[in-house]
Amino acid sequence: MLSKQTRDIVKSTAPVLAEHGTAITSVFYRNLFAAHPELLNVFNHANQAQGRQQAALANAVYAAAVYIDNLENILPAVVQIAHKHVSLGIKPEQYPIVGEFLLKAIKEVLGDAATDDILKAWEEAYGVIADAFIGVEAQMYKEAREQENGWNFFKPFTIVRKVQESESITSFYLKPVDGSGVPAFKPGQYISVRVLIPGEQYTMIRQYSLSQASKPDEFRISVKREADNDPNGVVSVYLHTQVNEEDTVEVSPPAGEFLLDTAKTTPVAFISGGVGITPMMSMLETVAVSTPDRPTVFLHAARNESLAAFGEDIEKHALNMSNIQYKTYFSDGPDGQITREALEAYVDPTGDAYVCGPVPFMEAMIRNLLAMGMKEEQIHYEFFGPALQLEHA
């Protein structure tokens, strides 16, 4: 437990972190990678280039300062980040390295304002928070390792099929090279794919939602090809253009907590934009197989018909369901966006809604669902990339 003095000091730094947090985390990552370039095999270079990782870490450090008296308040965020860490293969011995460079960055940015007392308090606080992460992640690693067909970190998978779903999305069907099965996963979870792209110095890891219901022998991911000049597109372009059937990639076990509650039979709505449809496909297929009478709504937004994926899959699943409504909205067409009126026409506010897509899309959907009378706990959402704060008030 942290002493009251330590907690008071950490809390007192919250306003400073709000002001200088991104500067501190930018210095932190710069110095960390200069001293430990091997960590570039783990971190997403695109998120670094765009400042998203720096902003996400700054938010996390600020939250730790604000809630230092009641760290259980940030436990949901710890669990969410821990899923990402386990999916990336983060190890306990990396935490002291991060702590060392975080403290050095605080000192470098704040200068004399970062007194010895402040640095000592933050060192103690970081130790407690790091121990929380290490403990949560150790349990996750244990569960991943001990489940049937489970493993830790990465293992090679063969791409057994590659299927174009739309102008921009291609599905990859993956089976373990060693011939084993794959662990059962929960609808909404993701896997990490690690590749070494020719000409690149470091491996790159990206997380992709599993886009079909759990199968005993294979995973399916469905990857949107980003623009060639988009930093986010390095891996997706490589997968689309250079990785073929019978090639191998490295894969981590399923992770994530954007999960369909499969025990419920009450109304459910799946609302997606763009490639946010991928986890919804796993959820929809699971409902079609396990609770086909569950009242279900599936609404998807795409720019145009050529970019809308999985139309045939949706129709196939719908044939097995007794109470489903589904519609795709094309922003280039007469229907336009998924509006508040559209949500009111389709979504039962007494049920649950699952939302995934670009951040502005999700903010609009969540804001409208709340205005319809849905409660926060009825609305479940996930966005891709570092944990950013959604604004939907």
Is 190 part of any known ligand binding site? yes
DSSP 3-state of 187 = coil
The angle that helices 277-290 and 311-319 make with each other, rounded to 10 degrees, is 20
Q: How many CA atoms lie within 13 A of 40 on its CB side?
A: 17
Is 357 part of any known ligand binding site? no
Tell me the C-alpha distance between 218 and 191, whole Å. 12
Is 209 part of any known ligand binding site? yes
Residue reference for tokens 């205005």: 371
Is 206 part of any known ligand binding site? yes
Cβ–Cβ < 8 Å for 356, 46: no
Is 85 part of any known ligand binding site? yes
Is 275 part of any known ligand binding site? yes
Residue of 29, 62, 95, 126 marked catalytic: 95
Is 168 part of any known ligand binding site? no
Closest Cα to residue 253, out of 310, 214, 223? 214
Is 157 part of any known ligand binding site? no
Is 205 part of any known ligand binding site? no
382 is catalytic: no
> What does the block give as tokens for 160?
């057994």
Cβ atoms within 10 Å, residue 392: 18
Is 273 part of any known ligand binding site? no
Is 384 part of any known ligand binding site? yes
245 is catalytic: no
Cβ–Cβ < 8 Å for 255, 84: yes
Q: Which amino acid is at 185?
A: F
Residue of 62, 137, 354, 363 marked catalytic: 137
Binding-site sequence positions for heme b: 85
Binding-site sequence positions: 85, 190, 206-209, 274-279, 383-386
Catalytic residues: 95, 137
Binding-site sequence positions for NADP(+): 274-279
